[in-house]
Structure 1
Amino acid sequence: MAQKPSIPKGTRDFNPEQVAKRNYIFSTIQNQFEKFGFQPIETPSFENSETLMGKYGDEGDRLIFKILNSGDYLSKVENSLFKEKDSNKITQIISEKALRYDLTVPFARYVVQHQNEIEFPFKRYQMQPVWRADRPQKGRFREFYQCDADVVGSTSLWQEVELVQLYDAVFTALGLNGTTIKINNRKILSGIAEVIGASDKLIDFTVALDKLDKIGEEKVKQEMLDKGISQSGIERLQPLFTLSGDFGSQIKELKAILNASEDGKKGIEELEFIDNAISELGLQTARLQLDVTLARGLNYYTGAIFEVAAPEGVNMGSIGGGGRYDDLTGIFGMKDMSGVGISFGLDRIYLVLEELDLFPVTVNKNIDVLFINFGDKEALYSLKAIKILRDKGFNTELYPDAAKMKKQMNHANKRNIPFVVLVGEQEMSKDAFTLKNMISGEQSEVTLDTLISTLT
């Protein structure tokens, strides 16, 4: 007996209802992207390994899916490497390409490669799948979509202000009220590392701090100790773990902590600019919250960093994130090209909307009317009407086979089709149609014009 087929862990099939709901999210996000002036691009699903490797830190590099070279990929590997059993060295020889880990680094590559064709500042959006060799769990998949919006070619903090507004606009349009847009600044984190004497371990410090909401305070401190950050330095961090209150009161405490750090003070200044602007402009349903422990473990962030939390009561990780990167294109030889961007986690947003029952009923609308098939003559008569109905914008279908009436009616019920049309010799002789409402059970003989007006 043949083995039942399966799909890899961390991937999913989507049925028609799920695809309709996902498309609803896509179209809502895309609509807001375009309202804010962002233009679409697409990049390949895989890149050269050298494009991706080394851009996300050691943890990110481990989660990149590598693609084996075509042909006899082991022929170039020396026997000595097999004996060493060093998978990293062997991988460099047998794999030259990898599936993209996110959309930001490929975007940076795109900007450098097409710099002479782009008008800067360049506002782009991109909605494509990415892949990470992560451990699958609720809300965390190995294949998932990101929906990104970035601006490159401007250092203006008004871009950060607009991105906060964009988050608010998208989640309000989705009916997802009460989201929290958390904000911090990597300059503040650099200042903190400087104050505790760990400037040379900034990456280790931010990677550990970024796990605070996942593993808790004590485990974060232990990880910092393991990475060589001193006990006395960690003790000086304690005020951060208990920092609370509104934006202004937290900023006041930060100014005292970071008084000796120019980097830290610059970060505070940038945060105050964004907060003051948002306070003046207002948000529809989201709220902006300072979170000084927010680190986001990606190495390329240099300024403001964002993370969006679902409304209270929903057990879900972040549903969006992003930040400022002053020199991301520098990794590809194009210096002084600042950018800032945010991402929407489509799959997690889907789960949140599902949990809160926020998908509109109309999302699953498929067919408006099904024509019952009684035979070839009746089918041809029906298809002439179907063509007119489709031209009028109605989703219309003819059952393909002249099956038993009960089977065709059951098909309409299972697909939640609201109307069916029956055409026999009697209807054709009168140039008419019998229309049945599948919800009320009522049916009547109608002309094509009446059929159209009923469906409208």
Structure 2
Amino acid sequence: MASKPSIPKGTRDFSPTEVAKRHYIIQIIKNNFEKFGFQPIETPSFENSETLMGKYGEEGDRLIFKILNSGDYLAKANVAHLENKDSTKLTASISEKALRYDLTVPFARYVVQHQNEIEFPFKRYQIQPVWRADRPQKGRFREFFQCDADVVGSKSLWQEVELVQLYDTVFSALGLEGVTIKINNRKILSGIADVIGASDKLIDFTVALDKLDKIGEDGVKKEMMEKGISAAAILKVQPLFHFTGTISEKISQLSVLLAESEEGMKGLEELRFICDNVMKLGLSNSTLDLDVTLARGLNYYTGAIFEVAPPQAVAMGSIGGGGRYDDLTGIFGLKNMSGVGISFGLDRIYLVIEELNLFPETVTATSKALFINYGDAEAFYGLQAIQKLRAAGIKVELYPDNAKVAKQFQHADKRGIPFAVIAGEQEIASDTFVLKNLISGEQRTVDFEGLKQDLLRS
């Protein structure tokens, strides 16, 4: 007996309804990307391992899906590493490619490779799947879509201002109210690490601080201590664990803490510029908040950092994030190419909208009418009308088989098709159709024009 088929953990099949809802979100994001002047590109699903490895920190490297070399992948394996079962070193000799972890590093590679064809500043958007060997849980998958918008070739902070507006515009179009766009700056984090005497532990400090909302104050302190950050240093950052007030008030508090750090004060000024201008321009449905614990684990952010929290009514992780990277393309040999970008988490946004019941009914609308099949002559008569209705933009279809009428009506009901079109010998003779409302049970005889108008109005 054949075993029951399955799919890998962290992946999903999508039903027609789910695909329709996902396309609805993607289309809104795509339309607004283009409205803000971003242009689409696409990159391969897998890259050379050297393109990806070492770009996301130690944690990120562990989550990259490696692809075994084609053919006898052990033929070129390092025998010593194989015998010692040293998987880390062995991987380099048996895997030369990997599935992309995100869209940003492949984008940096794209910019370097095509720099002579690109007009800078270059505003690109990309909507494609990525893969991470993460532990699956609610809202976290091993295969998921990212929807990215980036600008490279400009250091202007007006780009950050516009990206905040882009977030707000998209979430407003999706009907999501109460979204919080959190902002911080890596220069501020560097400044804090500097003033507490933990500059050499910057990455450990920021990674631990970023987990405050997940493991709490005690958990963060414990992790910092385990990473070698002194108790005295942790005491100095104690105020950050209970940082409250308006953005202006938080900036004032940070000004005192960072007074002795040139880099920290520079980051604070950048953050002040972005926040002041966003607040003056105004947001529709979102709230901007300064979250000084926001660090994001990716090593390449150098300036502003963004993370988007869903409405408080939904228990869900971030639904977007991004930031400024001053020299990401430098890892591929193109120096001084500053960029900034944001990402929308399609899968989590889907779950939030679903939980809040915000999908319009029209998103999953199926065919408006099912033509009942009474035989070849009737089917041909129906298809002549169907051809013209489709040309008018109306979704209609013919039941393919000359089955029992009850079965055809049952099919329409299960599909959620609201109308049935009946055309037998009598209707063919009079060049008419019977349009039946499958919800109310009402029906009437109409000519083709009447049929078209009724379906257009419904």
TM-score relative to the length of structure 2? 0.99
Question: After superposition, what is the alpha-carbon deviation per residue over 1:153-200, rounded to whole angstroms, capped at 9, x for unaligned?
Answer: 000000000000000000000000110000000000000110111111
Query: What one-letter code is carried by the residue in structure 2 that aligns with 1:197?
Result: G
Question: After superposition, what is the alpha-carbon deviation per residue over 1:43-101, rounded to whole angstroms, capped at 9, x for unaligned?
Answer: 00000000000000000000000000001111112332222211011100000000000
Once the two structures are overlaid, the 10-residue window that deviates more, 216-225 or 159-168, is: 216-225
What is residue 219 of structure 2 aligned with on the other side? 219
Once the two structures are overlaid, the 10-residue window that deviates more, 229-238 or 316-325, is: 229-238
What is residue 277 of structure 2 aligned with on the other side? 277
Distance in 2, Cα, partners of 1:331 & 1:4: 46
What is residue 451 of structure 1 aligned with on the other side? 451
Shift in Å, 1:104: 0.3
Once the two structures are overlaid, the 10-residue window that deviates more, 209-218 or 32-41, is: 209-218
What is residue 132 of structure 2 aligned with on the other side? 132
Q: What is the DSSP-based 3-state SS (H/G/I as helix, E as strand, rest coil) of the residue aligned with 1:216?
A: helix
2:226 is the counterpart of 1:248? no
Question: Contact 2:168/2:284 (CA < 8 Å) preserved in 1?
Answer: yes
Q: What is the DSSP-based 3-state SS (H/G/I as helix, E as strand, rest coil) of the residue aligned with 1:76?
A: coil
2:119 is the counterpart of 1:97? no
Question: After superposition, what is the alpha-carbon deviation per residue over 1:329-348, rounded to whole angstroms, capped at 9, x for unaligned?
Answer: 00000000000000000000
Q: What is the DSSP-based 3-state SS (H/G/I as helix, E as strand, rest coil) of the residue aligned with 2:444?
A: strand
Shift in Å, 1:220: 1.2
Once the two structures are overlaid, the 10-residue window that deviates more, 134-143 or 222-231, is: 222-231
Shift in Å, 1:452: 0.6
What is residue 183 of structure 1 aligned with on the other side? 183
Q: What is the DSSP-based 3-state SS (H/G/I as helix, E as strand, rest coil) of the residue aligned with 1:2?
A: coil
What is residue 331 of structure 1 aligned with on the other side? 331
Shift in Å, 1:328: 0.3
What is residue 380 of structure 1 aligned with on the other side? 380
1:60-139 mapped onto 2 (5 Å cutoff): 60-139=60-139
Percent identity (aligned):
72
Distance in 2, Cα, partners of 1:326 & 1:81: 38
Query: What one-letter code is carried by the residue in structure 2 that aligns with 1:258?
Result: L
Query: What one-letter code is carried by the residue in structure 1 that aligns with 2:402?
Result: A
What is residue 209 of structure 2 aligned with on the other side? 209
Shift in Å, 1:126: 0.4
Distance in 1, Cα, partners of 2:248 & 2:68: 52
Shift in Å, 1:443: 0.9
Distance in 2, Cα, partners of 1:40 & 1:289: 30
Query: What one-letter code is carried by the residue in structure 2 that aligns with 1:353?
Result: I
Distance in 2, Cα, partners of 1:421 & 1:243: 64
Report how many aligned residue pairs link the two structures: 456
Shift in Å, 1:416: 0.8
What is residue 320 of structure 1 aligned with on the other side? 320
Distance in 1, Cα, partners of 2:448 & 2:4: 48
Shift in Å, 1:305: 0.2
Question: After superposition, what is the alpha-carbon deviation per residue over 1:280-309, rounded to whole angstroms, capped at 9, x for unaligned?
Answer: 100001010000000001000000000000
Q: What is the DSSP-based 3-state SS (H/G/I as helix, E as strand, rest coil) of the residue aligned with 2:337?
A: coil
Distance in 2, Cα, partners of 1:400 & 1:313: 46
Q: What is the DSSP-based 3-state SS (H/G/I as helix, E as strand, rest coil) of the residue aligned with 1:401?
A: coil
Shift in Å, 1:10: 0.4
Q: What is the DSSP-based 3-state SS (H/G/I as helix, E as strand, rest coil) of the residue aligned with 2:255?
A: helix
Distance in 1, Cα, partners of 2:82 & 2:128: 37
Distance in 2, Cα, partners of 1:372 & 1:105: 53
What is residue 292 of structure 1 aligned with on the other side? 292
Runs of 4+ in 1 over 3 A off after TM superposition: none
What is residue 422 of structure 1 aligned with on the other side? 422
Question: After superposition, what is the alpha-carbon deviation per residue over 1:216-260, rounded to whole angstroms, capped at 9, x for unaligned?
Answer: 111111111111111111111101111110001111110000000
Distance in 1, Cα, partners of 2:148 & 2:247: 27
Q: What is the DSSP-based 3-state SS (H/G/I as helix, E as strand, rest coil) of the residue aligned with 1:295?
A: coil
What is residue 436 of structure 1 aligned with on the other side? 436
2:405 is the counterpart of 1:405? yes
Distance in 2, Cα, partners of 1:336 & 1:415: 56
Query: What one-letter code is carried by the residue in structure 1 that aligns with 2:352?
Result: V
What is residue 19 of structure 1 aligned with on the other side? 19
Shift in Å, 1:360: 0.5
Q: What is the DSSP-based 3-state SS (H/G/I as helix, E as strand, rest coil) of the residue aligned with 2:77?
A: coil
Question: Contact 2:78/2:93 (CA < 8 Å) preserved in 1?
Answer: no
Q: What is the DSSP-based 3-state SS (H/G/I as helix, E as strand, rest coil) of the residue aligned with 1:297?
A: coil
What is residue 355 of structure 1 aligned with on the other side? 355
Question: Contact 2:255/2:265 (CA < 8 Å) preserved in 1?
Answer: yes
Shift in Å, 1:201: 1.4
Query: What one-letter code is carried by the residue in structure 1 that aligns with 2:90?
Result: I
TM-score relative to the length of structure 1? 0.99
Shift in Å, 1:278: 1.1
Query: What one-letter code is carried by the residue in structure 1 that aligns with 2:284?
Result: Q
Question: Contact 2:204/2:227 (CA < 8 Å) preserved in 1?
Answer: yes
Question: Contact 2:184/2:294 (CA < 8 Å) preserved in 1?
Answer: yes
Q: What is the DSSP-based 3-state SS (H/G/I as helix, E as strand, rest coil) of the residue aligned with 1:102?
A: coil
Once the two structures are overlaid, the 10-residue window that deviates more, 51-60 or 201-210, is: 201-210
What is residue 391 of structure 2 aligned with on the other side? 391
Query: What one-letter code is carried by the residue in structure 1 that aligns with 2:381?
Result: Y
Distance in 2, Cα, partners of 1:14 & 1:31: 23
Distance in 2, Cα, partners of 1:340 & 1:332: 17
